[in-house]
A and B are shown apart, each in its own frame.
Chain A
Amino acid sequence: MSERQKNPAVKPQLPPNVLAKRALPWAMPILLLIVWQWSSSTGILPSRFLPSPRAVVSSFIELSASGELWTHVRVSSLRALSGFVVGGGIGLLLGLLTASFHWAEVLLDTTIQMVRNIPPLALIPLVILWFGIDESAKLFLVSLGVFFPVYINTFHGIRSVDRGLLEMGRTYGLSGWSLYREIILPGALPSILVGVRFSLGLMWVILIVAETISARSGIGYMTMNAREFMQTDVMVVGILLYAILGKLADLLAKGLERYWLRWNPAYQTAR
Chain B
Amino acid sequence: MPVTCNSSEILAAEERCARGVSVAIKKVSIAFGGRTVLENFDIEIPAGEFVAIVGRSGCGKSTLLRSVAGLETPQAGSITLGAVPASNMKPDVRVMFQDSRLLPWRRVLPNVMIGLEPALMPQARKVLAQVGLAERVNDWPATLSGGQRQRVALARALVHDPNLLLLDEPLGSLDALTRIEMQQLIEDIWRSRGFTAMLVTHDVAEAISLADRVILIEGGRVALDEVVNIPRPRTRGGARFAALEERILGRVLQRRPVVEDVPGKDQW
Contact = CB atoms under 8 A, between A and B. Distances in A.
Interface of A: 164-165, 167-169, 171-174, 182-183, 186-187, 189, 261-265
A167 B62 CA distance: 15
Interface string B134-146: 0000001111000
B115 A164 contact: no
A164 B101 CA distance: 7
Contact of B103 (A186, A189, A261, A262): A186
Nearest to A186: B105
B94 A171 contact: yes
B115 A172 contact: yes
Contacts of A261: 105
Interface string B81-122: 000000000000111010101011111000000110000000
A261 B143 CA distance: 14
B71 interface: yes
5 contacts: A165-B103, A169-B115, A186-B103, A263-B104, A264-B142
Leading 10 A-B pairs by shortest Cβ distance? A172-B115, A168-B101, A173-B115, A186-B105, A263-B105, A263-B140, A265-B142, A172-B114, A164-B101, A171-B95
B222 interface: no
Given A168-B95, A186-B103, A187-B105, 9 more contacts: A164-B101, A165-B103, A167-B71, A171-B70, A174-B114, A174-B115, A182-B114, A263-B104, A263-B107
A169 B97 CA distance: 12
B142 A168 contact: no
Contacts of B71: 167, 171
A261 B105 CA distance: 7
A165 B101 contact: yes
A157 to B, nearest CB: 13
Contacts of B95: 168, 171
Contacts of A183: 103
B154 to A, nearest CB: 13
B140 A164 contact: no
Contact of B69 (A171, A187, A264): A171
A248 B208 CA distance: 62
B200 to A, nearest CB: 15
